[in-house]
Amino acid sequence: MVSKSVTILNQVGLHAKAATLFIQKANEFKASIWVEKDARRVNAKSLLGILSLGITRGTEIVLSAEGTDEAEAVSALCMLISDGVCE
């Protein structure tokens, strides 16, 4: 299992449009991927799960993945967030 913390820096956090882009990227990988905020953990491939976390600007989340392409999945999702694509 690979895990990495990342802080959401865009203005509105992972709102519906950004969450959709995030989920589309997560679905490119075979690994099981989770997003953790506070004590809650949801499937990174679930729109309702992501939106239920209420991820806003400045929120620190933990991305975790387990599977054959786990490292690539976490790296790609962290890059998506840090590049501001999820705006």
Active-site residue list: 15
Distances (CA, A) of 21 to 50, 81, 84: 11, 10, 11
Report the C-alpha gap between 77 and 35 in whole angstroms. Answer: 10
Q: Does residue 71 contact residue 2 with C-beta atoms inside 8 Å? A: yes
Q: Does residue 57 contact residue 11 with C-beta atoms inside 8 Å? A: yes
